């Protein structure tokens, strides 16, 4: 069983990882395991999860793996912490054959917290525990649409009362799909069965754009102007979508010009209607303003933001900060008031492989999470400084090499692709990987 355990936040959250030996004859105390640092696991050793480091932890699989997903905002209320939780995801598969792919709505519910360790008791107590275990089983319902071609990226937005998904296909087109019907039937098993039998095959995208010269990954809905969309492709082009009165879109055929290689990610400004950021395999990050002509819209550039591809960016909704992750494994924070300097205000190096996803916490301005191709999810807090009196460094000198702001290292997934904080459930993280979906909340955030 894979271990995933939190790091101390001034002596509050425990150690990062523990390795336990399978050889009970020479068993010693559990040791801290630091990915990419210190000795590798020896033969007979395994990583063991410390459930006390998690408030909630669940895993789910959907058949073919999903490269991308988004969390669907729901009507169940904000700041939800009471368990069990319910949440809705929209995801797209990367199946072995183009015909086998699906766009899906996942309804995960009855998500309880981690259980305390069992205590020795009577047979009657054991029966009660079994009944309790049955009641606590997490539930998953899926409503799916057939999709020809693997889905590279999915982003969800609400257009008034209508939920829609922007979908980047590996076949080179971008589609907008209505989600209302899927969200309705996923609540009712009978309605879902009737939908799969009678409606599923007939449902089509409400809009499709095939003007990109090839496939892409970058896609972002404006948080300030409903329906406004940006899409970027592997041929270095970015296109602006403007909603029209008839429930359709006008896509500007003139691409934004500036990048020299694949556009990897796009982020609208959370405070300005016309400003967005992009990052690219050309190692640069650029800031744009759509009020200018596409050929002149690039306002600011950091030409060498990372040593190699810049894979992902996240624009803070609470501070003038842009977070980036690259093939170099580095996480960098850029103060947009000083972006012209070309220097980040902070650089963190914990991942030992390309960073695949980054996202600021939606409520806590100094907290963010990242995932990497090294099978790690890391949680960070810019406000944390190591307590010199805590004694954790003396207890394990390996901790001295860790960045002070590193709160938690989560492991156990294979080929992590994307993560998101739930905007309505504080501290809840959802990730997708080759190994499936994981929903968890740590004691650190």
Question: In the beta sheet, which residues pair with residue 60?
Answer: 437
Q: Is the CB of residue 395 less than 8 Å from the CB of residue 343?
A: no
Is the pLDDT confidence value at 39 over 70? yes
Q: What are the tens digits of pLDDT across the range 300-346?
A: 999 999 999 999 999 999 999 999 999 999 999 999 999 999 999 99
Least confident of 118-127, 176-185, 287-296: 118-127
What is the full DSSP assignment across 114-176? PPPPP----HHHHHHHHHHHHHT--EEEEEEEEESS-EEEEEEEEETTEEEEEEEETTS-EEE
Q: Is the CB of residue 57 less than 8 Å from the CB of residue 3?
A: no
**pTM score, two decimals?**
0.90
Sheet holding 367-372, edge to edge: 5-6, 406-410, 377-381, 367-372, 355-360
Q: What is the mean pLDDT of the chain?
A: 89
| Contact partners, residue 398, CB within 8 Å, separation at least 6 | 32, 34, 37, 38
Give the tokens for residue 74.
């729901």
Q: How confident is the model at residue 115 (pLDDT cuts 50, 70, 90)?
A: confident
Q: How confident is the model at residue 369 (pLDDT cuts 50, 70, 90)?
A: very high
Answer yes or no: is 86 within a domain: yes
Answer yes or no: is 241 within a domain: no
CA atoms within 13 A on the CB side of 225: 17
Answer yes or no: is 282 within a domain: no
Answer yes or no: is 80 within a domain: yes
Distance CA 167, CA 320 (A): 28
For β-strands 416-421 and 18-21, DSSP reports them as unpaired
Answer yes or no: is 189 within a domain: yes
User: Locate tokens 């395999």: which residue?
Assistant: 281
Answer yes or no: is 33 within a domain: no
Domain count, the chain: 1
Answer yes or no: is 298 within a domain: no
Nearest alpha-carbon partner for 61 in 375, 429, 324, 435: 435
Taking residues 374-386, report their average pLDDT.
92
Question: Where in 198-328 does DSSP place strands (E)?
Answer: 207-209, 216-221, 229-233, 238-243, 249-251, 263-268, 275-280, 285-289, 298-302, 310-315, 321-326
Please give the residue range of the domain that contains residue 431: 55-115+136-171+173-210+425-444
Answer yes or no: is 330 within a domain: no
């Amino acid at each position: 069983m894979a271990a995933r355990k939190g790091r101390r936040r001034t002596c509050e959250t425990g150690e990062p990882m523990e390795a336990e030996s399978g050889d009970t004859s020479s068993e010693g105390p559990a040791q801290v395991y630091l990915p990419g640092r210190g000795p590798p696991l020896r033969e007979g050793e395994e990583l063991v999860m410390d459930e006390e480091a998690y408030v909630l932890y669940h895993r789910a699989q959907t058949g073919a793996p999903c490269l991308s997903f988004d969390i669907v905002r729901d009507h169940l209320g904000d700041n939800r912490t009471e368990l069990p939780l319910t949440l809705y995801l929209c995801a797209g598969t990367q199946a072995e054959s183009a015909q086998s792919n699906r766009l899906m709505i996942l309804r995960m519910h009855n998500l309880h917290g981690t259980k305390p360790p069992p205590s020795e008791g009577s047979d009657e107590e054991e029966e009660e525990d079994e009944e309790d275990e049955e009641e606590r089983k997490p539930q998953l319902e899926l409503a799916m649409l057939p999709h020809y071609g693997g889905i590279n990226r999915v982003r969800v937005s609400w257009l008034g009362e209508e939920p829609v998904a922007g979908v980047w296909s590996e076949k080179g087109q971008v589609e907008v799909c209505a989600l209302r019907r899927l969200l309705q039937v996923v609540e009712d098993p009978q309605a879902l069965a009737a939908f799969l039998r009678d409606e599923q095959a007939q449902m089509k995208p409400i809009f499709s754009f095939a003007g990109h010269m090839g496939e892409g990954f970058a896609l972002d809905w404006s948080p300030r102007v409903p329906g406004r969309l940006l899409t970027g492709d592997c041929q270095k082009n970015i296109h602006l979508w403007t909603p029209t009165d008839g429930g359709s879109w006008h896509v500007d055929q003139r691409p934004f010009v500036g990048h020299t290689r694949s556009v990897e990610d796009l982020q609208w400004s959370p405070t300005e209607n016309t400003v967005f950021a992009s990052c690219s395999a050309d190692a640069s990050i650029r800031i744009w303003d759509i009020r200018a002509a596409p050929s002149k819209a690039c306002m600011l550039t950091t030409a060498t933001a990372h040593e190699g591809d810049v894979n992902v960016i996240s624009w803070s909704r609470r501070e003038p900060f842009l977070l980036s992750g690259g093939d170099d494994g580095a996480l960098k924070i850029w103060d947009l008031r000083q972006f012209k300097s070309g220097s980040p205000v902070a650089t963190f190096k914990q991942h030992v492989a390309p960073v695949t996803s980054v996202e600021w916490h939606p409520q806590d301005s100094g907290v963010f999470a990242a995932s990497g191709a090294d099978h790690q999810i890391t949680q960070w807090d810019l406000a944390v400084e190591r307590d010199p009196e805590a004694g954790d460094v003396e207890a394990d000198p390996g901790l001295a090499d860790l960045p002070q702001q590193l709160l938690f290292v989560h492991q156990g997934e294979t080929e992590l692709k994307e993560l998101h904080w739930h905007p309505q459930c504080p501290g809840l993280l959802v990730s997708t990987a080759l190994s499936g979906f994981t929903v968890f909340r740590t004691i650190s955030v």
